[in-house]
Amino acid sequence: MFDELRDKIMLCFIDNGYWEWLVEGFLHTVLITVFAVLLGLVFGVILAAVRSSYDKNEETLKLRGGIGYYLLKFFNAVCKIYITVIRGVPVVVQLMIWYFVILVSSKSDIAVAVIAFGFNSAAYVAEIFRGGIMSIDNGQFEAGRSLGFNYVQTMAYVVIPQTVKAVLPTLLNEIIALLKETSIAGYVGIMDLTKAGDLIRGRTFEAFIPLIAVAIIYLITVVVLTRVFTAVERRLRRNER
Amino acid sequence: MKGNENAINTANNSLISINGLKKYYNGEKVKALDGVNMEIKKGEVVVIIGPSGSGKSTFLRSLNLLEIPTEGKIIFDGVDITDPKTNINLHRRKMGMVFQHFNLFANMNILKNMTIAPMKLLNKSKEEAEKNALNLLNRVGLEDRASAFPSQLSGGQKQRVAIVRALCMEPEVMLFDEPTSALDPEMVGEVLDVMKALAAEGMTMAVVTHEMGFAKEVATRVVFMDAGKILEQGTPDEIFTNPQNPRLKDFLSKVLT
Ligand SMILES: Nc1ncnc2c1ncn2[C@@H]1O[C@H](COP(=O)(O)OP(=O)(O)OP(=O)(O)O)[C@@H](O)[C@H]1O
Ligand SMILES: [Mg+2]
């Protein structure tokens, strides 16, 4: 029984050097995830900044007049539409639209995936940050403004630091979800971790072993990620309880 | 026009002059402020009293534009701060505000709470800002809590820190919105004492409070508000021993028993 299992493992990973596929696939998965997370964070924070600036300043700007109000209102509406569209369309479909329609001439499949997953994640990150900002007691904001800090200073010194701490757990969830979402990269011919496992399955006619191996690698990655985040959170809490 | 107003203000020594101040919510449904006029002179301690929902907070928060008035003018230091072209941030530096719920910055320790604004806004050096902050903390008996975080302080301690945090900006006027209402009874005194000391030093203050004892003892003028209007104002003596307006009489009969 153990001999049989060992033979199968040898067949799936070692004999034909298929383990290299797993390594390559895993690297692609990590590459896509890391850059998509970065893109999602940057663009998501921009979206959140627009959305929450509008929420927090709407009344003031409206009453104090000026073109700023209409500009912000416009950009807020654009962001809202963007977030609605992204959240309403399956990621696979988004990925295929990027791959087969918008970026057909792109040389790098990985880059297309980063863009697709990044701009998708941005919508979720934006809502996470906006929710986080709104969850901070408005008294904190008002205290900052009452001392004479302008909007941006108040956000930077008072609200955002508290927001970051508050959204860390939700942000981790988003990153984990994104990591696992990248498993659909195979749809556009990228050999990520999932695709690698699937290729091995196709070659060896062994389904159980390669797929379990893939599952375990995802699982370990998620566990490690969670550990890292928990440590960061604990750090933050110790620094400013 | 503007110069004219300046002249008037300096002539009658008025630090803040409020003219026809109105604040409506939901269109015109809620008239939180319905035409308020007031002069606050340097060194005055104006205590604002009135039933719940009468517009006291709205009035106080309008003074530093945390609420944007629907109508009316607020002239502070000779400048119309309700003019959209005025940079309100510059004027807020000169108006300290103390909130019912303290609102100390939760992400900073006490010292940082007190030094961040002077350092970032007044370009004070760290040493200077900290020295000043520690002096002020010393005065309210909290110098040993400088490195504590707000969550580690009692309500009374938080409010004392909130007061000195505002003082770090060397304001010309201090606004207090029910500074003792969120405190346990045994902590009310320590906060009122700080406010009394401040008044004794000649700080201009506008205080919304339900502490009638404080009003009697410290106020130079008591203002009674109801339904967004000032119905009566006068010295504590006039207001408490010889009220005229029936609504004020009714209010006092409820709070002074
Ligand atoms: N953001 C708001 N939206 C709508 N109505 C409001 C808002 N803020 C205040 N009001 C209303 O304006 C009126 C005045 O409120 P305000 O808070 O100034 O009263 P107050 O005198 O401070 O009362 P309290 O003693 O309870 O603090 C109330 O009727 C209140 O419901
Ligand atoms: Mg109030």
The per-residue pLDDT for range A51-95, each reduced to its tens digit, is 999 998 888 888 776 788 899 999 999 999 999 999 999 999 999
CA torsion angle A62 A67 A70 A73 (round to 10): -80
Q: What is the pLDDT of residue B143?
A: 93
Nearest chain B alpha carbon to A64: B84
Q: What is the pLDDT of residue A188?
A: 93
Query: Edge-to-edge strand order for the sheet containing B30-41?
Result: B30-41, B14-25, B71-76, B79-80
The answer, yes or no, to whether any atom of ligand 1 lies below 6 A from the CB of B122, is no
CA of B191 to the centre of ligand 2 (A): 18
Mutation choice for B interface testing from A56, A146, A158, A159 by most B CBs within 10 A: A146
**What is the model's pTM?**
0.89
* Residue of B116, B151, B152 lying closest to A157 (CB–CB): B116
Q: What is the pLDDT of residue B20?
A: 95
pLDDT tens digits in sequence order for chain B, 257 residues long:
334 444 444 446 789 999 999 999 988 889 999 999 999 999 999 999 999 999 999 999 999 999 999 999 999 999 999 998 899 999 999 999 999 999 999 999 999 999 999 999 999 999 999 999 999 999 999 999 999 999 999 999 999 999 999 999 999 999 999 999 999 999 999 999 999 999 999 999 999 999 999 999 999 999 999 999 999 999 999 999 999 999 999 999 998 87
Q: Whose CA is nearest to atom 29 of ligand 1?
A: B53
Please tell me the distance in Å from B105's CA to the nearest CA on chain A.
Answer: 6
Is B66's CB within 8 Å of A146's CB? yes
CA–CA distance from A28 to each of A122, A194, A214, B131 (Å)?
20, 10, 13, 55
Smallest-distance ligand from the CA of B54 = 1
Q: What is the pLDDT of residue A47?
A: 96
Portion 28-67 of A in contact with B at CB < 8 A: 59-60, 63-66
Q: What is the pLDDT of residue B12?
A: 60
Q: What is the pLDDT of residue A10?
A: 83
pLDDT tens digits in sequence order for chain A, 241 residues long:
788 888 888 888 888 888 999 999 999 999 999 999 999 999 999 999 999 999 988 888 887 767 888 999 999 999 999 999 999 999 999 999 999 999 998 889 999 999 999 999 999 999 999 999 999 999 999 999 999 999 999 999 999 999 999 999 999 999 999 999 999 999 999 999 999 999 999 999 989 999 999 999 999 999 999 999 899 888 887 765 5
Hey, is A173 helix, strand or coil?
Answer: helix
